[in-house]
Chain A
Amino acid sequence: DAGVTQSPTHLIKTRGQQVTLRCSPKSGHDTVSWYQQALGQGPQFIFQYYEEEERQRGNFPDRFSGHQFPNYSSELNVNALLLGDSALYLCASSSLTGRGETQYFGPGTRLLVL
């Protein structure tokens, strides 16, 4: 049973460019959450997708957008990249089972903005 997969593993972009990160959830999961983890920090919640809609959003600007496909996979798009967007981007999948549901994380995509 494959876990959560993310692509690419590493990415280098320049300021002002746009980037798309991809995530495939664990088998049986229908919900995908995205987090940003800066170096030496805990993850920060970006948003969550369920049934192809954004259910919840953290404190991130509109430059950060996402999409969920019918097969539950998801994309994170970041426009007009800033140096401060350099971070590890984590995808987590889960199934909405209620209290205490576990989010399973992928290995992340490390983005460097120059």
Chain B
Amino acid sequence: GDSVTQMEGPVTLSEEAFLTINCTYTATGYPSLFWYVQYPGEGLQLLLKATKADDKGSNKGFEATYRKETTSFHLEKGSVQVSDSAVYFCALREDAGNNRKLIWGLGTSLGVNP
């Protein structure tokens, strides 16, 4: 079945450091890909998404490119801030027929020190 694999955390960075969180997926079809963020004590928020190969999703300085050839959707940010400390989830959905189920990775916890 479909699955998502994220790099294990926790990840700890200093402010203004470069961030990469790896995400790879296995899918039988042609999924849409998502990154969600969960701040402490809050619900999940969509960070960015991409629906086809080579699409780049971007938001709040974060970027991820849909790479069909490597089945990856790595999250990057050039300069992290303390306020980026959160748990980041990669997810996929096979947009076929009635399927609307999101399949999630385990999440990667990010801590940013001032």
Contact = CB atoms under 8 A, between A and B. Distances in A.
The answer on A and B forming one complex is yes
Interface of A: 4, 31, 33, 35, 40-45, 48, 55-56, 58, 90, 92, 94, 96, 98-108
B51 A99 contact: yes
Contacts of A4: 43
Contacts of B45: 105
A4 B51 CA distance: 24
Chain A facing B: main interface SS: loop
Interface stretch (B12-20, B68-76, B77-85, B99-107): B99-107
Nearest to A99: B95
Interface residues of B, number: 24
A46 B103 CA distance: 11
Contact of B42 (A40, A56, A96, A107): A107
Contacts of A41: 106-107
B43 A94 contact: no
B27 interface: no
